[in-house]
Amino acid sequence: MNERFFYIASAAVAVLIIALSLIWPQGEGRRSPPPFGHAITEPDYYRMVRERDIRLAKDAQDKAAQQQRDEELHEEADAASASAAAQRAADR
């Protein structure tokens, strides 16, 4: 085989492989450049996990806020009952 032909063919194959790798990165989970490829759709399982994590975080925030409101109500009730007890004691 002629060296000139071999090296030119090898260079052409290398350029083609590099060009193909530039338009085919979705095999590694990345998006293709704009004129190629398509939007990556997330599998249902991963979407479900993400939505569950968001829901659990929101539930934890709601529970903490509710607990704080309950504590404030108990403090107000305790203050009101203490005030009422003090007023009853003063009336006697």
Residues 35 and 59 in one domain: no
- The total number of structural domains in the chain stands at 2
The 3-state DSSP class for residue 33 equals coil
The per-residue pLDDT for 59 is 96
Residues 20, 12 contacting (CB under 8 angstroms): no
Whole-number pLDDT of residue 22: 76
86 with 46, same domain: the answer is: yes
- Domain range spanning residue 3? 1-39
Do 35 and 57 share a structural domain? Answer: no
Q: Are residues 50 and 13 in the same domain?
A: no
How high is the pLDDT of residue 85? Answer: 75
Judge whether residue 69 has pLDDT over 80: yes
Express each pLDDT in 12-66 by its tens digit: 999 999 888 777 766 666 666 666 666 666 677 888 888 999 999 999 999 999 9
With 0.75 as the threshold, say if the pTM is over it.
Answer: no
Return the exposure string of 73-90: e unless at least 16 CB atoms fall within 10 Å of the residue's CB, then b: eeeeeeeeeeeeeeeeee
Residues 19, 33 within the same domain = yes
Check residue 84 and give its pLDDT. Answer: 74
